[in-house]
Amino acid sequence: MTEPFENDPYLQSRYGIKTSRSPKWLVSAIIFAVIGGGWLLWTANHFANPEIRSTLISFKEIDAKSIEIRYSVEIKSPTTKVTCRLSARDFGLNIVGQIDDPIPLGTRSTTRIIQIPTRLAAVNAKIESCTSN
């Protein structure tokens, strides 16, 4: 019994075998790579450069009823009204004080020192969030 040859044009046309230079999966892989790569570049740029960036610099306990926090805020659009929520925590990480600090309109970059009143002695302070209103 003889084996059919893959290069026989008669058998290829009879059974609908098409010869292509590139495999079918390669086209799908290229499309997936272009779309996926574009999405990765967009997300990397979008999340690396947020609209509002806040950085905790330091905190210092003033007394048993207050703690001082020093932080910086950078805002891309100075026409945006921004409010930062600051919290003070005790040794068990329970929130013992919280305050909303409005950033003045027209500010692009600032360093703020705010005193947070607490109900118990606080051991640290945190920037919960900075959001635009």
Closest of 50, 43, 66, 51 to residue 125, by C-alpha: 66
What residue type is 76 in one-letter code?
Answer: K
Q: What is the pLDDT of residues 3-45, one digit of tens each?
A: 666 677 787 788 777 776 777 788 899 999 999 999 999 999 9
Domain ranges of the chain: 9-48, 52-132
Class of domain 52-132: mainly beta
Q: Do 74 and 59 touch, CB atoms closer than 8 A? A: no
User: What are 29-34's contacts with CB under 8 Å, separation 24+?
Assistant: none
**pTM score above 0.75:** no
